[in-house]
Amino acid sequence: MAKKEPRQLQEKVVAITGAARGIGLATARALSAKGMKVAIGDLDKTDSDKAAASVDGAHGFELDVTDPESFARFLDGAEEAFGPIDVLVNNAGIMQLGPFVAESAATARRQVDINVHGVLNGMRLILPRFQTRGSGHLVNIASTAGKAGIPGGATYSGTKHFVVGTSEAVRLELRGSGIEVSCVMPVVVNTELATGLTEARGIRNVSPEEVADEIASVLAEPRFDVFVPRSVGRITKTMGVLPRRAREGVARALKADRVLAQVDTKAREAYELRASRSDPRLQAADEHEQLTPGE
């Protein structure tokens, strides 16, 4: 059977959420280099404009992924600037760490609202547009934490499990429609989100550029499972056939159970503060909770 020719990305339109920094910005640069037209969405318009200025031909937009109306304006603005969107990269997400019993309700809601509902909002808005044209590619950024529960990041792991499961289900629902769905599952990525984290034994952290390169690759040759690095896909498959006690033993041997649990909290202070301010609608709830602990 002849191998399919890679899809041409030149002149295709991509919208990327949370793209003012980290994986999102690296992806914007990688896809622009492939000739794609890039719409950069981020919570702060100043940040998205600054990021867009560093990416050839990109446009920056204000975007609160937790607000469906804001998300719709982002997609409409991207299509007004460039034409119909061919690819949506649901990248926006936060990771706040600590023991589950010490996590505030507002912190949990914030992660669920951004990491879960932010992805759902994008999917609900973009998929009908793709269906109308009979083509399109949805790329959801999850994590290897979406394949295993990681101590120290229980809620974060849960949100990424949700992204993986929802992506799998929607992919099957869209089979034969001409619409592609991919789920990107990197290990720890060297971005601000990973500040203060350690590496698992034998599994190095990756750069945002490596994740971006895999996203560019999957757009040219679509597949669902996108592990970064690819070797982690083989490890995940092997772990999946082991009994639970063996899986947990391997995780301890690799020190994977310490990656999110034993962190430099001082080094993470600035990121945790920014993450706590990443959903304006939840700030009031967080402040109330801090003033009235135990409610």
**Residues carrying an active site annotation:** 156
CB proximity list for 79: less than 8 A, separation 6 or greater: 13, 85
Cα distance between residue 205 and residue 22, in whole Å: 14
| Residue 14 three-state SS | strand
What residue has token string 């600054």?
50
| Residue 262 three-state SS | coil
Amino acid 137 reads H
What tokens appear for 2 in the block? 């002849």
H helices present in 54-175, as ranges = 68-82, 105-111, 118-133, 154-173
Cα distance between residue 177 and residue 131, in whole Å: 7
Angle, helix 154-173 to helix 118-133, in steps of 10 degrees: 10
Cα distance between residue 279 and residue 111, in whole Å: 9
Report which of 38, 31, 37, 33 is spatially closest to residue 11, judged by C-alpha positions.
Answer: 37
Q: How many residues does the chain have?
A: 295
Q: Phi and psi of 117, rounded to 5°?
A: -70, -30
